[in-house]
């Protein structure tokens, strides 16, 4: 069942809102869970609303109440449209709940069916359990084949269901121990939250590619993908869940921590700093906004240009544009204005209106940019289709020159850890040099921040080539976790695995 985007227009924090052609990397999913608070579903709905930028296709909440048992609601579309009415929340009683907002990174790409909406719920011999997952299992296809050959019956196309079946087939006496056993068999990037009758469980993969944070919510506890979800519901940030850590949280006993995996070097996704996380979140004690502003500073140092204005491509390019302006001394200006209400303006757009593409969402500030040399700062270039349209729009509005500065290195390799990336041959940087891309886009100059510059912007002195501090596979092609399914299918050559 495809998502009707005219019924469910994209969220204002959704970076894809800037892009009519899907010419952006699409983020993963968002998780929120809490235990030990009254009306837990309300807090989860608030947390998911703050995380809506991580997934706009669908959302779900599962709660547990000793009298009512487990209850769930799974809906297509936005949290604000599905989980704000009182009658919905009243059907989700309990002092413990978990929730998930989804963008389909596995299964059927670009569409969501109700059967794929998380959290997934299952009844095991020792009781019920709901599971939600952010990331991607790189051996999910192999696991699914092995499980179905042994009699497992899958109900969804989500790789998360592999975790559920592995738990069901475990031999340990309780669900947390079975989860440990199951997650030791999976490969890839994952942050998982789970809910049993008495426990809220959170786990990160051994390299910590995907985020998960712990907060205090009144007398209870909360887990979330980002700290911005704590702000909206009044929770206090406590700390990050460490790479390879499992926390088991109960109302009575608090937080119990264990390390179920072999130690591995931390490889957090650097694109969380560049693009995915909300700018008001904090990652590793560092403001996402400040990291993005610093990227702009590095860009201005590495790729100076003579110009009259620095303009962001809204909204994801804004912090970097501010940093570029501050470092270069070129005035910052809003040369492009975003129409916040486009999604509800055209209920049934005609083909002619569809073909207007980016102009439905972005409009040049003609009086400001006419006759000016303009530096446009954007977060990334994927296929380049949107960049061409924005350049044409600026020239049509009278800009004298258009220079692009990109707040990430060239995206040359697909991601297999929870981000939907086009096939490599569709990535502009995989087939063209920087100068060829400049000519293809038709701009006066094009420069990307270097990988070393990006590392400096996020607080590192330099990138450790032998063992990079972050996962930067989409830029370097060095995959810290072997993407087994992709190697087996031939999507990438075997030598690109594990940092080769």
Mean pLDDT of 474-495: 83
Which pLDDT score is estimated for 479? 95
The better pLDDT of the pair 344, 153 is held by: 153
From 209, 239, 269, the end of a domain falls on 269
Which pLDDT score is estimated for 22? 52
Say if residue 258 is in the same domain as residue 324.
Answer: no
Share of the chain above pLDDT 70, in %: 87
The better pLDDT of the pair 76, 358 is held by: 76
Mean pLDDT of 35-58: 96
Q: How confident is the model at residue 494 (pLDDT cuts 50, 70, 90)?
A: low
DSSP 8-state code for residue 16:
G
Say if residue 233 is in the same domain as residue 152.
Answer: yes
From 207, 238, 269, the end of a domain falls on 269
Mean pLDDT of 274-282: 95
**Does any domain span residue 5?**
no
Q: How confident is the model at residue 356 (pLDDT cuts 50, 70, 90)?
A: low
Q: How confident is the model at residue 420 (pLDDT cuts 50, 70, 90)?
A: confident
Mean pLDDT of 350-365: 68
Which pLDDT score is estimated for 113? 83
The better pLDDT of the pair 341, 131 is held by: 131
Which pLDDT score is estimated for 226? 98
Residue 197 φ then ψ, to 5°: -65, -25
The residues carrying an active-site annotation are 29
**Does any domain span residue 480?**
no
Q: What is the CATH number of the domain that holds 386?
A: 3.40.50.2020
Instruction: Judge whether residue 132 has pLDDT over 70.
Output: yes
Distance CA 14, CA 54 (A): 7
Instruction: Judge whether residue 352 has pLDDT over 60.
Output: no
C-beta separation of 147 from 165 below 8 A: yes
Q: What is the CATH number of the domain that holds 91?
A: 3.60.20.10
The better pLDDT of the pair 345, 420 is held by: 420
Say if residue 347 is in the same domain as residue 412.
Answer: yes
C-beta separation of 369 from 376 below 8 A: no
Say if residue 216 is in the same domain as residue 178.
Answer: yes
Say if residue 137 is in the same domain as residue 181.
Answer: yes
End-to-end CA distance of the chain: 40
Say if residue 343 is in the same domain as residue 387.
Answer: yes
Tens-place pLDDT, residues 93-129: 999 999 999 986 544 444 568 999 999 999 999 999 9
**Does any domain span residue 215?**
yes
Which pLDDT score is estimated for 2? 29
Say if residue 224 is in the same domain as residue 289.
Answer: no
255 Cα distance to chain centroid: 26
Q: Give the contacts of 351 (CB within 8 A, at least 6 positions apart).
A: none
Tens-place pLDDT, residues 158-200: 999 999 999 999 999 999 999 999 999 999 999 999 999 999 9
Instruction: Round the average pLDDT of the chain to a whole number and report it.
Output: 89
Q: What angle do CA 364, 365, 371 make, to 5 degrees?
A: 95
Q: Which residues of 95-105 are buried (b: 16+ CB within 10 A; e: fewer)?
A: bbbbbbbbbbb
* SS3 call for 179: helix
Say if residue 174 is in the same domain as residue 292.
Answer: no
**Does any domain span residue 402?**
yes
From 269, 296, 314, the end of a domain falls on 269
Which pLDDT score is estimated for 217? 97
Q: How confident is the model at residue 18 (pLDDT cuts 50, 70, 90)?
A: very low
C-beta separation of 257 from 270 below 8 A: no
Cβ neighbours of 415 (radius 10 Å): 23
Say if residue 149 is in the same domain as residue 213.
Answer: yes
**Does any domain span residue 380?**
yes
C-beta separation of 40 from 28 below 8 A: no
Which pLDDT score is estimated for 488? 82
Say if residue 339 is in the same domain as residue 370.
Answer: yes
Q: How confident is the model at residue 489 (pLDDT cuts 50, 70, 90)?
A: confident
Instruction: Judge whether residue 478 has pLDDT over 50.
Output: yes
Instruction: Judge whether residue 499 has pLDDT over 50.
Output: no
Q: How confident is the model at residue 315 (pLDDT cuts 50, 70, 90)?
A: confident
**Does any domain span residue 496?**
no
Tens-place pLDDT, residues 447-471: 999 999 999 999 999 899 999 999 9
Which pLDDT score is estimated for 432? 96
Which pLDDT score is estimated for 146? 96
The better pLDDT of the pair 70, 15 is held by: 70
Say if residue 311 is in the same domain as residue 402.
Answer: yes
Q: Give the residue numbers spanning the domain of 441.
A: 283-467
C-beta separation of 481 from 139 below 8 A: no
Which pLDDT score is estimated for 21? 46
Domain count, the chain: 2
**Does any domain span residue 478?**
no
Say if residue 93 is in the same domain as residue 26.
Answer: yes
Q: State if pTM tops 0.95.
A: no
Which pLDDT score is estimated for 486? 83
Which pLDDT score is estimated for 407? 97
């Amino acid at each position: 069942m495809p998502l009707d985007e005219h019924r469910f227009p994209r969220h204002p924090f959704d970076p894809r809102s800037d892009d009519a052609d899907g010419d952006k990397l699409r983020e993963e999913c968002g998780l929120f869970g809490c235990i030990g608070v009254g009306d837990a579903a309300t807090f989860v709905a608030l947390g998911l609303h703050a995380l809506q930028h991580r997934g706009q296709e669908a959302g779900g909440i599962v709660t547990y109440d000793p009298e009512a048992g487990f209850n769930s609601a799974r809906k297509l579309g936005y949290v604000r449209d599905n989980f704000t009415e009182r009658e919905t929340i009243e059907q989700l009683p309990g002092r413990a709940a978990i929730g998930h907002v989804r963008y389909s990174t596995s299964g059927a790409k670009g569409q969501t069916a109700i059967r794929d909406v998380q959290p997934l719920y299952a009844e095991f011999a020792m009781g019920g359990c709901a599971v939600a997952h952010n990331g991607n299992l790189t051996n999910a296809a192999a696991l699914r084949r092995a499980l179905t050959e042994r009699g497992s019956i899958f109900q969804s196309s989500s790789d998360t269901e592999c975790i559920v079946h592995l738990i069901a087939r475990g031999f340990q006496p309780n669900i947390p121990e079975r989860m440990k056993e199951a997650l030791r068999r999976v490969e890839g990037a994952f942050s998982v939250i789970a809910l049993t009758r008495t426990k809220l469980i959170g786990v990160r993969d051994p390299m910590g590619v995907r985020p998960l944070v712990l907060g205090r919510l009144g007398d209870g506890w909360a887990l979330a993908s980002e700290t911005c979800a704590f702000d909206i519901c009044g929770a206090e940030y406590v700390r990050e869940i460490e790479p390879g850590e499992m926390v088991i949280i109960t109302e009575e006993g608090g937080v119990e921590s264990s390390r179920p995996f072999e130690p591995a070097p931390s490889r957090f996704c650097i694109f969380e700093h560049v693009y995915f996380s909300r700018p008001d979140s904090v990652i590793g004690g560092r403001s996402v906004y400040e990291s993005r502003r610093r990227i702009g500073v590095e860009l201005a140092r590495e790729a100076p240009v003579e110009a009259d204005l620095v303009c962001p491509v809204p909204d994801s390019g804004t912090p970097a544009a501010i940093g570029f302006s501050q470092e270069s001394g070129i005035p910052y200006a809003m040369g492009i204005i975003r129409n916040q209400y486009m999604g509800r303006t055209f209920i049934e757009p005609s083909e002619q209106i569809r073909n207007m593409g980016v102009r439905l969402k972005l409009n040049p500030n003609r009086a400001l940019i006419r006759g000016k040399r303009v530096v446009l700062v954007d977060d990334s270039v994927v296929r380049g289709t949107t960049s061409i349209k924005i350049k044409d729009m600026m020239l049509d509005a009278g800009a004298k020159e258009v220079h692009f500065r990109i707040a990430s290195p060239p995206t040359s390799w697909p991601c297999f850890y929870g981000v939907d990336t086009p096939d490599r041959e569709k990535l502009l940087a995989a087939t063209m040099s920087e100068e060829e891309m400049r000519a293809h886009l038709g701009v006066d100059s094009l420069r990307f921040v270097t990988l070393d510059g990006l590392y400096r912007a996020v607080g590192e002195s330099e990138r450790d080539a032998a063992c990079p501090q972050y996962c930067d596979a989409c830029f370097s092609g060095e995959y810290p976790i072997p993407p087994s399914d992709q190697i087996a299918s031939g999507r990438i050559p075997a030598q690109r695995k594990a940092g080769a």
